[in-house]
């Protein structure tokens, strides 16, 4: 059994971890922490049936776990991550703290001095489809952001194949759970319901840093415009991506490229011609669903990629990474 | 032209007033106030096209208006109501401050000493279908609560006709705008969406005081169980009401009773047999839609009544009252 | 391994079965049938990742299964149920065909002559909390309706304890998946969204027959008014039930009654005082969540009970029943 | 008074016309037609309070009207349009039948031989912001499609100013009422709710023909990729448009361009810097709301434009056109 601890169990990703662990045959939860609900049970902090007791972050018994999942705000994650590593356990961090390899970039995008820059070299960006081998060996895993998971999986084959030289347009739409559990004007039901809101569009959203870091690994010319929109749904991200192709590409060759890239991936699904990736394809699963639409007369391709932002975009991918790090079957608990 | 001022223009009922006034041929807005948006325009406080400047409550030019609409929290309303009356203008209060005739009842239900108990005797409960004549003559109008509007209109004929002797079950369902614009956990999109939540059920919701006050006027034996539920919609209330009948009632006699009671009412609609009142019947209108369903073998009747909580349940009814108070056609601006 | 077949795999309950089986360690799907998608895969009939081939009902290889799940319309289920039993396998029927013990009652409520009345005596009504022992022994299981599951679990303790002598008011609200996958005006998005619609209220909905049959087993005086409403959500049922109590009951005694009744039930959860059962408590789980609210001054109690209509109200409960029928742990695949 | 007739009054655009006319002081409805509800009232065909009698299309008294609104399927509209013109009244057609100037293009995109090609030369494309003068003089008005209204208003200033030479990416999202009232799998609540679906993306949606026709009038090089998505909302369209700029443009110059283009338009609103156009800005109004977002480091601009698809995208714009055609104030009935 893998002995796990959850930091920040009462946020949406923390609760999702509890749900996944309830079905995971190899995991035992040793502790769950909270800021606001110390002394209560998870079922008192959220309408669910998990009577897991909640302790203060600082009361977590680090000697009893093999791995800690950090579902904490950025900044806080780096601190606790350090502490967990010092205690000898592994870290799977769902915040942004260890995603960017460069502390200066972190400061630029997140406005904070990094709390543990010395750990950055050992952190692995936990997208199994790109970095499976490093993931298996690391003790410090940076779980990718939700938008970047959909975008990087959707675009990596294109860039790898040098199929574009141009700025790519990424028009993304996300459910509200991506904005977190804190009550703000932005997530008021009346504000979101029957509405659709673009925000931080262009080249200003923090997740852009992560996308470009990863995509430049496969192709240094990678450049994006990224436009997130807030959808009136609880879960799910759909990214619609517009790529101007270099010469010589058609629908068949594109389909072959994606099929080859992902044929052995348990959680990436390429839809057959004529089908469109939707939120429903991926919600409540750990899949990234991708559809490919060549626009012949302007030689562009539209890639649609959907994920569940709380599963493949957060807690499911975190468990997929844990499975890899602990040498058990990658899909355990995730089907 | 009727010169109006709006106190608290940036809440949902304030914005709804602005929308109605934009189509009301006899109204001129002289000021609109706000706490948080002083110096801005209404269009900066809410995504709309009304560039009405917002002033502080205390900067409102009371000498320039004939009537003030108070869309303020209870407590605050009584204070400003007094001030407006002293300045010689009329008051239409959308809060609960002048609804209960009894300051002790107000204290019991709202937990506050009433700020202007001396004004209570002149306040009129502004349900035109029950109190039209007094409304025409008052300068201090207490606009009814949203739930009570649906319940009192749905039940008044029954009680007037002495058709029940028993506690009535009222199962009400409301959209989220009824909870106000303040960001709280309760109105977080993820909390409300794909959910339905009962709250304050039994005999504990504040609106019960108002319902029983008004219904006891028509029948002193009136007693209710009132169970509100929060619906995942922006607007609308549906109250489903279960009434054990005295002998001698059948569907036809009940239909005749309702038809006679409401035949001259411009904003109450009784649906024909076989139709069910839904939110859609009333949303974005000033109507209360009522359907009648006799359950013969247990001699009960189910009354369904729907309103738009922001219109007939608040701002529309307030304008209907203004029309009556200022002697113009009751339906002006409300069709 | 339990070898199963699914008849009617492309409806909502069929798809939900496929989802549950994907996580059930003791089940092997041997066939899945469809009317409209013969020759295709389940993933072509619904946006999901199950590439299960779909065969015609009549092409199902009955010799290869231990149990068939019938997710077929009533009428058709009886025919196929007979065929499956004749082939020696067990039947778990999700339609209404074997729920009523009396063919005449079936005819009255469903308007059909029963196709296999000779099988009715051996059919067991599959509510484990009431009939666990018979379920373990049967080969013909009638899986309960969705509304009845919430209502019977919510009221059985009350009736067993003779705590009421009166007609109970059941005000139920259901998500749209309960209406099935067929495109009709009633389930058009624009018709349902931002709306709430009562329908078949009083004593006319078919599920009333099932509720009263089961409740009369525990108390012959049981009588109900049942008012379903269509909610703008995909899943979930909340039933709010109003019970006039006999003397001597208070909140504590009621809580004790429910605690005793359900203390060993893996899928019934009684909420602590002050909490309200909501859809979110039960959605995407096999739980029935119950909250208890005594209204002291009129001596009534309000019981709120929620389930996921596709899980505890259909496919989850069907699997719970299968687990019992095949002697494996009751919760397998359902956590 | 303008005497109007409505063909196809029970579809969403027909009902919206009835709502607008109820507030329009210069209009008298002389007839309303329907296929399926002949002999009934509009309130029986849709949950509303308009007791307008419905007659068969062929029973419409053409001698009693000044103008007919055709809310009919394409194909049918051309037939009735001809008939109305022959009877001497004006035509405002909400279908696609008279939008394309070229019968061959119509055949290509709609798969039909045009039923009245001889009328095409006199038809005016009814976008007041582009063709106000011709609209004032015509008797045959082709009311624009919903998507094209948002896209053409959003892009016309850019093309007029020759600010781009490149294919523009239009990523549009629409509410479900745009798909019409017919019950199909696509508009089933469970299919749409909590989902987002791209469809007909690239260069295949019919509305592309209309957009390119109009935009080529201002700039013959206009070319688009157009990707519609179905949103889980009842109303509203948001188009997010990505434009690669020629040299010399910055945010200020772009803002000036849009301000100059639309400064006298009663129903186009340019948001100030830092605000984003959302559905809520335009829903339940006749406005098109536009926001401008320059992406300096790649010299592109993102234009967001929202409308209510049933008002500015259909019935509201139709009434705006009627107001122009009959010489009354353009905003009458639309505020």
Q: What is the pLDDT of residues C270-325, one digit of tens each?
A: 999 999 999 999 999 999 999 999 999 999 999 999 999 999 999 999 999 999 99
CATH numeric code, C146-309: 3.30.360.10
Three-state DSSP at C294 gives: strand
Question: In this predicted structure, what is the pLDDT of residue A76?
Answer: 94
pLDDT greater than 90 at residue A295: yes
The whole-angstrom separation of Cα B218 and Cα A307 is 58
> Of B168, B193, B196, which to mutate for an interface test with C (greatest number of C Cβ within 10 Å)?
B196
Question: In this predicted structure, what is the pLDDT of residue C278?
Answer: 98
Closest residue in D to A192 (Cα–Cα): D280
Subunits with 3+ C-beta pairs closer than 8 A to B? A, C, D
Task: List CB contacts (< 8 A) between D23 and chain B.
Answer: 23, 335
Q: Which pLDDT band, with edges at 50, 70 and 90, does C202 fall under?
A: very high
Determine which of A212-226, B153-167, C99-113 has the lowest per-residue pLDDT on average: A212-226
pLDDT greater than 90 at residue B154: yes
Question: In this predicted structure, what is the pLDDT of residue A61?
Answer: 98
Question: Minimal CA–CA distance to A96: which of A81, A83, A84?
Answer: A81
How far is A318 from chain B, CA to nearest CA, in Å? 22
- Where are chain D's structural domains? 2-122, 146-309
Residues A286 and A312 sit within 8 Å (Cβ to Cβ): yes
Give the H/E segment covering residue B54: strand B54-55
The token duo for A263 is 């044929």
> Of A172, A196, A205, A291, which to mutate for an interface test with D (greatest number of D Cβ within 10 Å)?
A196
- End-to-end CA, chain C: 19
The whole-angstrom separation of Cα D258 and Cα D240 is 16
Task: List CB contacts (< 8 A) between C278 and chain A.
Answer: 47
Of A12, A185, A190, the CB nearest to B234: A190
Q: Which pLDDT band, with edges at 50, 70 and 90, does D218 fall under?
A: confident
Query: Per the residue annotation, which of A48, A146, A263, A304 is the catalytic one?
Result: A146
ipTM beyond 0.90? yes
How far is B334 from chain D, CA to nearest CA, in Å? 9
Three-state DSSP at B27 gives: strand
Cβ of A233 within 8 Å of Cβ of B193? The answer is yes
Percent of chain D scoring above 90 in pLDDT: 96
State the average pLDDT over residues C147-171: 96
Question: In this predicted structure, what is the pLDDT of residue D318?
Answer: 98
Query: Per the residue annotation, which of D146, D263, D288, D304 is the catalytic one?
Result: D146
Residues C194 and C176 sit within 8 Å (Cβ to Cβ): no
Q: Which pLDDT band, with edges at 50, 70 and 90, does A221 fall under?
A: confident
CB contact burial D59-75 (16+ within 10 A = b; e otherwise): ebebeebbbbbbbbebb
Tell me the per-residue pLDDT of D223-234, one tens digit each, with 9 for 90 and over: 999 999 999 999
pLDDT greater than 90 at residue D220: no
The whole-angstrom separation of Cα A278 and Cα D232 is 12
State the average pLDDT over residues B215-219: 86
Cross-strand pairs, B5: B31, B68
CA distances from D306 to A11, D149, D270, D276 (A): 33, 9, 11, 10
Of D47, D194, D285, the CB nearest to B281: D47
Cβ of A193 within 8 Å of Cβ of B193? The answer is yes
Query: Class of the A2-122 domain?
Result: alpha beta
DSSP state of C4: E
State the average pLDDT over residues A319-324: 98
Cβ-based neighbour number of residue D41 at 10 Å: 15
Tell me the per-residue pLDDT of B182-202, one tens digit each, with 9 for 90 and over: 999 999 999 999 999 999 999
* Numbered residues of chain B with Cβ closer than 8 Å to any chain D Cβ: 22-23, 47-49, 194, 269, 278, 280-281, 284-285, 287, 289, 335
Residues D261 and D157 sit within 8 Å (Cβ to Cβ): yes
Determine which of A217-231, B245-259, C134-148 has the lowest per-residue pLDDT on average: A217-231
Three-state DSSP at D113 gives: coil
Question: In this predicted structure, what is the pLDDT of residue C66?
Answer: 98
Tell me the per-residue pLDDT of D297-319, one tens digit each, with 9 for 90 and over: 899 999 999 999 999 999 999 99
pLDDT greater than 90 at residue C217: no
pLDDT greater than 90 at residue A63: yes
Q: Which pLDDT band, with edges at 50, 70 and 90, does D13 fall under?
A: very high
Of A167, A198, A233, the CB nearest to D194: A233
Question: In this predicted structure, what is the pLDDT of residue A194?
Answer: 98
pLDDT greater than 90 at residue B222: no
Subunits with 3+ C-beta pairs closer than 8 A to A? B, C, D
pLDDT greater than 90 at residue A218: no
Tell me the per-residue pLDDT of D151-190, one tens digit each, with 9 for 90 and over: 999 999 998 999 999 999 999 999 999 999 999 999 999 9
Tell me the per-residue pLDDT of B101-136, one tens digit each, with 9 for 90 and over: 999 999 999 999 999 999 999 999 999 999 999 999
D48 noted as active-site residue: no
Question: In this predicted structure, what is the pLDDT of residue C272?
Answer: 97
Cross-strand pairs, B173: B229, B238
Question: In this predicted structure, what is the pLDDT of residue C308?
Answer: 98
Question: In this predicted structure, what is the pLDDT of residue D28?
Answer: 98
Task: List CB contacts (< 8 A) between C177 and chain D.
Answer: 190
How far is B193 from chain A, CA to nearest CA, in Å? 7
Q: Name the burial class of residue B238, with classes exposed (0-12), middle (13-18) and buried (19+) by CB atoms within 10 angstroms of its CB.
A: buried
Of A232, A293, A304, the CB nearest to D232: A232
Of C12, C176, C188, the CB nearest to D183: C188
DSSP state of A284: T
Task: List CB contacts (< 8 A) between A187 and chain B.
Answer: 183, 188-190
Tell me the per-residue pLDDT of D78-124, one tens digit each, with 9 for 90 and over: 999 999 999 999 999 999 999 999 999 999 999 999 999 999 999 99
pLDDT greater than 90 at residue D221: no
Residues B193 and A233 sit within 8 Å (Cβ to Cβ): yes
Question: In this predicted structure, what is the pLDDT of residue A220?
Answer: 85
Strand segments (E) across A113-186: 124-125, 140-142, 168-174
State the Rg of chain C over Cα. 19
Tell me the per-residue pLDDT of A34-47, one tens digit each, with 9 for 90 and over: 999 999 999 999 99
> Of D175, D177, D198, which to mutate for an interface test with A (greatest number of A Cβ within 10 Å)?
D198
The 3 state secondary structure assigned to C9-72 is CCCHHHHHHHHHHHCCCCEEEEEEECCCCCCCEHHHHCCCCCCCECECHHHCCHHHCCEEEECC
0.95 exceeded by the pTM? Answer: yes
CA distances from A332 to A135, C5, C25 (A): 16, 25, 12
pLDDT greater than 90 at residue C218: no
B200: left (phi over 0), alpha (psi -120 to 50) or beta: left
Tell me the per-residue pLDDT of B71-104, one tens digit each, with 9 for 90 and over: 999 999 999 999 999 999 999 999 999 999 999 9
Task: List CB contacts (< 8 A) between A23 and chain C.
Answer: 23, 335
Question: In this predicted structure, what is the pLDDT of residue B161?
Answer: 94
How many Cα atoms within 13 Å fall on the side-chain side of residue C13?
31
Question: In this predicted structure, what is the pLDDT of residue D217?
Answer: 87
Q: Name the burial class of residue B35, with classes exposed (0-12), middle (13-18) and buried (19+) by CB atoms within 10 angstroms of its CB.
A: middle
């Amino acid at each position: 059994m893998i002995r796990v601890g959850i930091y920040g169990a009462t946020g949406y990703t923390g609760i999702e971890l509890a749900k996944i662990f309830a079905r995971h045959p190899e995991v035992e939860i040793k502790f769950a922490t909270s800021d606001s609900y110390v002394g209560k049970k998870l079922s008192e902090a959220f309408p669910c049936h998990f009577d897991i007791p909640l302790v203060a972050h600082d009361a977590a018994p680090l000697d009893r776990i093999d791995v800690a999942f950090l579902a904490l705000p950025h900044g806080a994650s780096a601190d606790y991550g350090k502490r967990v590593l010092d205690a000898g356990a592994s870290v799977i961090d769902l915040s942004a703290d260890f995603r960017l390899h460069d502390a200066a970039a972190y400061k630029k995008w997140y406005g904070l001095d990094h709390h543990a820059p010395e750990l950055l070299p050992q952190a692995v960006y936990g997208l199994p489809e790109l970095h499976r081998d490093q993931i298996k060996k690391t003790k410090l895993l940076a779980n990718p952001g939700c938008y970047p998971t959909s975008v990087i999986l959707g675009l990596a084959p294109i860039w790898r194949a040098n199929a574009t030289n141009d700025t790519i347009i990424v028009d993304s739409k996300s459910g509200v759970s991506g904005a977190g559990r804190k009550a703000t004007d932005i997530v008021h039901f009346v504000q979101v319901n029957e509405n659709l809101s673009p925000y931080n569009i262009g080249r200003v959203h923090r997740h852009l840093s992560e996308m470009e870091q990863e995509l430049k690994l496969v192709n240094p010319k990678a450049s994006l415009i990224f436009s997130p929109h807030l959808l009136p749904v609880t879960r799910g991200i759909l990214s619609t991506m517009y790529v101007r192709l270099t010469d010589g590409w058609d629908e068949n060759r594109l389909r072959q490229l994606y099929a080859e890239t992902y044929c052995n991936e348990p959680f990436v699904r390429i839809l057959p011609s004529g089908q469109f990736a939707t939120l429903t394809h991926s919600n409540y699963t750990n899949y990234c669903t991708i559809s490919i639409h060549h626009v012949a007369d302007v030689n562009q391709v539209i890639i649609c990629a959907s994920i569940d932002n709380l599963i493949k975009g957060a807690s499911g991918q975190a468990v997929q990474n844990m499975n890899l790090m602990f040498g058990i079957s990658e899909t355990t608990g995730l089907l």
